[in-house]
């Protein structure tokens, strides 16, 4: 073949189609049911409780009911993870992150048990005095409910809670600067 006065060699090629898995990420029940019906996997949201994960699985199962068992659908779970040997430091980093999430996604936070009154106070404080001031208002019980936070043993336990709720694998979102330490926590069972 000649193109722009250049000779281009022709080669015999066999094109084979590949099956690329399709994943749907979603939080709403209808999206999760659609993932169960059509997708190879459902990427489950982060900053949710393990109870949310169980409810999400029910929606995925509902969508899959006529086609296949839920075991054929991959269900990786995004999990926000703030880990530090110093538990207080892990909590402080998580507070700022969750306060930002309250500002960005108040409906998701409320759907996962964060009181509307607390959301209002955090939003008001952030607008009046800034995110750092609002972060201090996020109570520990909210952090513990929505993410893996604390010492290495704490975060391993919380990740297992999501797996016990039906997630097939964790997709960890590191809160803080030491990503290597977070990886080590999950690859070295003796690290504490």
- Torsion of the alpha carbons at 56, 154, 113 and 94, rounded to the nearest 10: -110
| Nearest in space to 56 (alpha carbons), one of 5, 118, 112 | 112
Work out the average pLDDT over 28-50. 96
17 three-class SS: coil
Per-residue pLDDT at 5: 74
Whole-number percent of the chain with pLDDT over 70: 98
Residue 6 has pLDDT above 80, yes or no: no
Identify the band that residue 190 occupies on the pLDDT scale cut at 50, 70 and 90.
confident
Identify the band that residue 1 occupies on the pLDDT scale cut at 50, 70 and 90.
low
Residue 12 has pLDDT above 70, yes or no: yes
pLDDT in tens, 159-169: 999 999 999 99
| Alpha-carbon span 48 to 147, nearest angstrom | 7
Identify the band that residue 3 occupies on the pLDDT scale cut at 50, 70 and 90.
low
Count Cα atoms within 13 angstroms, Cβ side, for 151: 8
What CA–CA distances, in Å, run from 2 to 6, 9, 12, 14, 44? 5, 9, 17, 22, 51
More confident residue, 15 or 157: 157
Identify the band that residue 84 occupies on the pLDDT scale cut at 50, 70 and 90.
very high
Token pair in block for residue 167 = 């997630």
121: which residues sit within 8 A by CB, 6+ positions away?
A: 137
Per-residue pLDDT at 163: 98
Q: Which sequence spans correspond to the domains of the chain? A: 22-187
Per-residue pLDDT at 131: 95
Identify the band that residue 13 occupies on the pLDDT scale cut at 50, 70 and 90.
confident
Per-residue pLDDT at 115: 95
pTM above 0.95, yes or no: no
182: which residues sit within 8 A by CB, 6+ positions away?
A: 81, 83, 155, 172, 174, 176
Task: Look at the domain 22-187 and name its fold.
Answer: TIM Barrel (3.20.20)
Work out the average pLDDT over 74-93. 98
């Amino acid at each position: 073949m000649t193109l722009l006065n250049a000779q281009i060699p022709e080669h015999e090629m066999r094109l084979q189609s590949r099956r690329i898995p399709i994943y749907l990420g979603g939080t709403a029940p209808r999206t999760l049911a659609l993932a169960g019906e059509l997708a190879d996997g459902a990427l489950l949201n982060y900053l949710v409780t393990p109870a949310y994960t169980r409810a999400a699985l029910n929606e995925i199962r509902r969508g899959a009911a006529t086609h296949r068992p839920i075991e054929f659908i991959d269900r990786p779970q995004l999990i926000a993870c703030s880990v530090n040997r110093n538990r207080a430091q892990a909590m402080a980093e998580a507070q700022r992150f969750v306060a930002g999430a309250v500002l960005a996604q108040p409906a998701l936070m409320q759907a996962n048990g964060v009181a509307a009154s607390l959301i209002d106070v955090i939003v008001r404080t952030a607008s009046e005095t800034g995110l750092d001031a609002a972060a201090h208002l996020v109570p520990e019980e909210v952090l513990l409910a929505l993410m893996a936070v604390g010492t290495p043993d704490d975060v391993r336990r919380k990740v297992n809670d999501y797996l016990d709720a039906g997630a097939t694998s964790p997709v960890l979102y590191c809160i803080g600067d030491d990503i290597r330490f977070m990886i080590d926590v999950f690859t070295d069972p003796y690290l504490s």
